[in-house]
Amino acid sequence: SYVQEAGRAGRDGLTTECALFVRPEMLDQRLQQLKQFDPNELPINETYQFIANQGEVTVGTRPDICTPFNVAAFTSSHGYKTQTVNRSIHLLQRAGYFGKVTSLGEICLQFSFNERSQTELHEMAQMPTEEGAVARHLATFAACATIRRKQSEFSGVGLDWNRILFALRRLEEWGVLAFAEHQHLQQIEWTQPRTASKVLIPSEVGIEPYERSLERLGALGEFVETNMCRQLFIAQYFGFPDTEPCGQCDNCLEVATDATSDFSLNRIPEGGVDFTNFIKGIPPSRYNICIQTLKSAEENGHIRFEKMRIYKAG
């Protein structure tokens, strides 16, 4: 999003500022959320066996009819979160154990609010985001300790159901509320006979996408904390190592004002220097930063330009 917005902002050719706001705790929260979906920790086999036992599917057979699965009953009896169970079913589908999964009846969510919920939901309701849209819907109910809302009652939010669930999970991560599916029945289609052994999820379906998600999150953290050119960092991440520093981002501008850099103002002799001679020793990759140095120094009154020569002020 940062790259996309930066690109849009510069289309008219005018000078533009693009700010990236990051709270370190948000990266930690996202990391903890990702770790919940570690395939090695998900209740994949437990979910599979529960569905098979509930549907009375014998080992070595594949039912011709779908098996009912009460998600809420399973999560409450085994202590798993609905998100991790749904993720387990998704991986079982991807691995070819299950086929189509159909929801029966209408999904009903049960919400629990705390002493901060009402205030924070009203504040978030002003945000032009998906979380803000969901907060506007729930703000009027936050005075209650618990409520239940059907899926159809969220129709006025203006988002599809998956986006609503995503926004609710974000609100839950931020401690604004807690929610769980009160009743959620599914029908599971079997594509393979029931196995007696532990189900195996191929690495390209399970662990590899998970590790890529961790890698992307790590790269985002490095991007936030890096001292190198932002554009250069992004370009190298996407496989363009020969990209030159932009000379415009915060890191480049900070380097540009560093008096100890290899093109510092100390290189200007008392009698001044011709501009072309001044930049001769500057590596092409640092040319833009050099220009920013000179502009900043002129604005701060440290140097002056006379035609094509640079003089130290005073």
Q: What angle do CA 259, 310, 228 make, to 5 degrees?
A: 35
The mean per-residue pLDDT over the stretch 178-194 comes to: 84
Angle between helices 82-94 and 71-78 (to 10 degrees): 120
pLDDT at 259: 39
Confidence of residue 257 (pLDDT cuts 50, 70, 90): low
The mean per-residue pLDDT over the stretch 110-119 comes to: 88
Neighbours of 20 (CB within 10 A): 14
Confidence of residue 255 (pLDDT cuts 50, 70, 90): low
Contact between 239 and 273 (Cβ < 8 Å): no
Confidence of residue 188 (pLDDT cuts 50, 70, 90): very high
Lowest mean per-residue pLDDT among 29-38, 255-264, 300-309? 255-264
pLDDT at 10: 60
Q: Which two tokens stand for residue 74?
A: 């399973």
Q: Residue 66: which H helix or E strand, with range? A: none
User: Residue 111 to residues 133, 145, 171, 284: CA-CA distances in angstroms?
Assistant: 16, 8, 11, 59
The mean per-residue pLDDT over the stretch 50-66 comes to: 90
Average of per-residue pLDDT values in the chain: 82
Lowest mean per-residue pLDDT among 44-48, 180-184, 228-232? 180-184
Q: Is the pLDDT of residue 207 over 90?
A: yes
The length of the chain in residues reads 314
For a pLDDT cut of 70, what percent of the chain falls above it? 85
pLDDT in tens, 163-185: 898 899 888 888 888 887 766 78
Q: Is the pLDDT of residue 258 over 70?
A: no
pLDDT at 260: 37
pLDDT at 212: 92
Lowest mean per-residue pLDDT among 22-31, 69-78, 185-194, 205-214? 22-31
Contact between 192 and 62 (Cβ < 8 Å): yes
